[in-house]
Structure 1
Amino acid sequence: KMQNQLVRFLFLKLLVSKGDSRSIGVVSWNLNQQLPPKTSSLWLRSLANCDIIVVGVQELRDNESTNKAGKRAWLKSALKSEKKKYRTIAHHTLGGLQLVVLAKSEICDIEICSINDVALGLGNVMLNKGAICLILKIGSMTIALVTAHLAAHHGAVQERNTQYIRTDDELLSTLPDGRTFHHVVDATIFFGDLNYRLHGLRRSEVELALSESAESELLYFDQLFRERGNGHAFSPFSEPKLTFLPTYKFDRHSNSYDSSSKRRIPAWTDRILYTPHSRLHLIEYSSIPSAKHSDHRPILARFQLLSEQENGDNHHGEASFLPSLTMGREAVHTRSSRLGHSPRASSTNVKVGKRKRYPKTKEL
């Protein structure tokens, strides 16, 4: 089985190397108000050679998120250290939440359709939690990028679900002509610190599973996995099996999980989900364990966006070779009948929320 998966993976790599495809790297990172050292850009090297880089951060330091000049300074310095030329396609900040989209200088077929945000903190006013939605047209394909920071704490499952629903209602809402957001865009990538934890497990049980490299046995207890399977939240989205260690909560500059008096239970709070599409292929889904300055580890997903010509030669999506997130006899089926099957309108007519004007893109 693994050999078949490898063959399919290599076939896809060969396919995308032939045509005018685009590689997209998506990173989510809760910075814990601690900027990465200017001399360290190891986390960015994981996205080497991506045509388009999408970075969503949470808990950006206050003076960085409120200071206009500082909004991109930390990312700009990291890119300079990599000596790569990217230009800023879009950047948007909501409290400590930030979404930045960069593209190689030679990539020209990118257009901003709309960008909106919603506060999800106390009273739906506070900006400590929230979501940002950017609709981007890349060539002939329209993609929505949604980054979010949802409610913390183990018992706040319903609050997180409610925040997702509110995000869906306000950012991904029904259009005046009756079409839904999912009819307008080809695919959506939803990522961030979604804050879902492990249900019903003690820390000692989680540590034992991790010490025995039995992470897969923990997945059934993952709250996001369960809520998606029960149709309570994120049901239109897909996620491959988690093969990396829980990304929260670490002692800073350490590989040890929380050693404070609270001894928080390790969990996969940071996630990247997407709606399947025949032209959008997931190549990689992993964490970046070398980035240790925060109490979260950053995560990344690498996608390949096929051209229409390439897609015509390949009608099999990544589901054919990526492991699905199911477990044992009591496995919850996570794929909804809605996934990837909605008809869509012409991507040239995308209008969601208030359209904003953006200045010409700038070189970093």
Structure 2
Amino acid sequence: MGNCVGRADDYVLPHNRHKWIAKCGQQVARGLLDCENSNLMAFNRKYAATDAALNCHKSLYGRCFDPCFPLPSEMKLIDPKIVRELAAERKSAKGAAVAPDIDPEAPIAGKGREAKQSGVKPVRAAREKPTACKHETPGSTPADLNVYVVTWNMNSKVPTSNFADLFDVSGDSYDFFVVGFQEAPNFDAKSSISEVLGNKYCLVESSVLLSLQLFIFVKRSLKPSISGVKVDKVWEARLSGVMGTQKGAAAVRLVFADKSLLFITSHLAAHESNVKSRNSQCAHICQSVFSRSTSAYSCFQPSMKVDDMNSRDPGVSSNMVEESDVVVWLGDLNYRIELPRSLVLNSIKQGRLQELHAKDQLSTALRKNQAFKGFQEGPLLFPPTFKYDVGTDNYDTSVKERVPSWTDRILYKTKRVKAELRSYDVISSVKSSDHRPVKAHITLKNLL
């Protein structure tokens, strides 16, 4: 809850609270305690779940809060506007009319009738029957968080007109968009992404290390559930490539409801022979990201109010990759296929991609626990993403004739959270780089 002092119900006028408990039951008033555990969206969804619960929230806000005592910013999350938006989303999903505006400052009419509508039973019913969301898909529930992840090595090329192909904005399926760029050119990535996603989404935070860039966007209606946002960058000078490009990692960590989410994009050492260097860089990033180390190669930049990360003893090391509940790692990891080019091309042409998996360096590293310990990846059912002749579907025809490889990957690991990989694929329509973008749809179960 950031710098919020005291418990949520400390901000309720005592005499009004007693009246409310007498009329509607202690359980209803204690709904405010959801906020004490930063479970703000659970509170909002509970009071948007039914019309009776919505009226209950209107009375709760209008009668119990002191208009002369401004709530701290964290508590403004318990706002009728947010609850109203969730209720409208519920009604829209059912094909019903949008709930009318609720003004907490307006006089409350029909007090006796409303007291009956806002008793304990409707709230219990709301808790037992969650809000139906428009993004609900088979196998998911309104409590699930749908995350769209995309990684792309841009090859220092300004994106073309099909930049929007990077994002699936059809319908209302995704709650988070996680976007990682490597070798990004000098362009306004934030504005470009915002334009594609539209007003429904807003930027949570970005982490930019020269050409290595990470952007986290979220539905505006879910922004109140996010706290403790932090940014970090890990690099080492000798890992840098040509001027303007950067090897290393950029990361964003946040708390959603009561779960910690860590997103990392990285660009690791190139060339087939450097597999041990890539494994070592993975270990270095895991140890350095958000650590209290004074290493010149780790930059810690808190982006918002301090939280538990800044309360650690400086001498105590931490591993945020191990401690976070959800970690999504994306980027140009640069692992290669250790086979002759002619054999790889022939397998791709005949659709026998499984023949290449055994010689994929990252698959081997995961299997032998040599790097990305505890992470998992979806099946590689798409063709290798590197190296293409720019603007074509032809693999490298230059004098170097690079062996096609799956250099661009998305990995994830969880604890205390069940994750389901819904899709993992290449975006073949974007051809302005020598890399193809890769996307994934990950559902985090029962996170709300």
TM-score range, shorter chain: 0.7 to 0.9
Q: 1:110 to 1:285 in 2, by over 3 A?
A: same
Q: CA deviation at 1:45?
A: 2.8
**Residue 239 of structure 2 contacts residue 269 of structure 2 at CA under 8 Å; is this kept in 1?**
no
Are positions 1:45 and 2:168 aligned together?
yes
2:437 to 285, 292, 298: 298
Residue matched to 1:181: 320
1:112-127 correspondence runs (5 A): 112-122=228-238
Select the structure that is richer in helix: 2
Q: 1:244 to 1:47 in 2, by over 3 A?
A: farther
**Aligned to 1:34, what secondary structure does the other structure show?**
coil
Structure with higher Rg: it is: 2
Cα deviations across residues 251-291 of structure 1 (Å, max 9, x unaligned)?
A: 11111111111111100000111114443221111111111
Are positions 1:264 and 2:402 aligned together?
yes
Gaps of 5+ in 1: 1-11, 65-69, 310-364
Q: CA deviation at 1:178?
A: 6.4
Give the Cα separation in 2 of the matches to 1:308 and 1:198: 37
Using CA pairs under 8 Å that are at least 6 residues apart, name the structure with larger relative contact order, 1 or 2. 1
Residue matched to 2:212: 97
Are positions 1:136 and 2:254 aligned together?
yes
Residue matched to 2:102: none
Q: CA deviation at 1:133?
A: 1.9
Residue matched to 2:221: 106
Q: CA deviation at 1:95?
A: 1.4
Q: 1:155 to 1:189 in 2, by over 3 A?
A: same
2:152 to 15, 23, 29: 29
Give the Cα separation in 2 of the matches to 1:99 and 1:89: 11
Are positions 1:88 and 2:174 aligned together?
no
Are positions 1:158 and 2:276 aligned together?
yes
Give the Cα separation in 1 of the matches to 2:142 and 2:426: 29
Give the Cα separation in 1 of the matches to 2:419 and 2:429: 28
Residue matched to 1:246: 384
**Residue 389 of structure 2 contacts residue 395 of structure 2 at CA under 8 Å; is this kept in 1?**
yes
Q: 1:36 to 1:128 in 2, by over 3 A?
A: same
Give the Cα separation in 1 of the matches to 2:278 and 2:357: 18
Paired residue total: 287
Residue matched to 2:341: 203
**Residue 31 of structure 1 contacts residue 57 of structure 1 at CA under 8 Å; is this kept in 2?**
yes
**Residue 47 of structure 1 contacts residue 53 of structure 1 at CA under 8 Å; is this kept in 2?**
no
Gaps of 5+ in 2: 1-135, 293-311
Give the Cα separation in 1 of the matches to 2:163 and 2:210: 25
**Aligned to 1:261, what secondary structure does the other structure show?**
coil
Cα deviations across residues 194-219 of structure 1 (Å, max 9, x unaligned)?
A: 000012x1110101111111101100
Give the Cα separation in 2 of the matches to 1:287 and 1:204: 22
Q: Which amino acid aligns with 1:194?
A: L
Are positions 1:192 and 2:301 aligned together?
no
1:316-355 correspondence runs (5 A): none
Q: 1:48 to 1:121 in 2, by over 3 A?
A: farther
Residue matched to 2:112: none
Instruction: State the TM-score, normalizing by the size of structure 2.
Output: 0.60
Q: CA deviation at 1:38?
A: 4.2
Give the Cα separation in 2 of the matches to 1:173 and 1:92: 16
Q: 1:172 to 1:165 in 2, by over 3 A?
A: farther
Q: 1:272 to 1:183 in 2, by over 3 A?
A: closer
1:59 to 164, 183, 192: 183
Give the Cα separation in 1 of the matches to 2:345 and 2:254: 41
Q: 1:23 to 1:40 in 2, by over 3 A?
A: same
Q: 1:168 to 1:104 in 2, by over 3 A?
A: same
Give the Cα separation in 2 of the matches to 1:41 and 1:203: 32
Q: Which amino acid aligns with 2:146?
A: S
Give the Cα separation in 1 of the matches to 2:214 and 2:191: 13
Give the Cα separation in 2 of the matches to 1:114 and 1:100: 12
**Aligned to 2:138, what secondary structure does the other structure show?**
helix
Q: 1:40 to 1:135 in 2, by over 3 A?
A: closer
Q: CA deviation at 1:168?
A: 1.2
Give the Cα separation in 1 of the matches to 2:358 and 2:191: 40
Percent of residue pairs bearing the same amino acid type:
31
Residue matched to 1:275: 413
**Residue 120 of structure 1 contacts residue 150 of structure 1 at CA under 8 Å; is this kept in 2?**
no
**Aligned to 2:222, what secondary structure does the other structure show?**
coil
**Aligned to 1:286, what secondary structure does the other structure show?**
strand
**Residue 34 of structure 1 contacts residue 293 of structure 1 at CA under 8 Å; is this kept in 2?**
yes
Q: CA deviation at 1:222?
A: 0.4
**Residue 25 of structure 1 contacts residue 47 of structure 1 at CA under 8 Å; is this kept in 2?**
no
Give the Cα separation in 1 of the matches to 2:386 and 2:190: 25
**Residue 288 of structure 2 contacts residue 319 of structure 2 at CA under 8 Å; is this kept in 1?**
no
Q: 1:300 to 1:48 in 2, by over 3 A?
A: farther
Instruction: State the TM-score, normalizing by the size of structure 1.
Output: 0.72
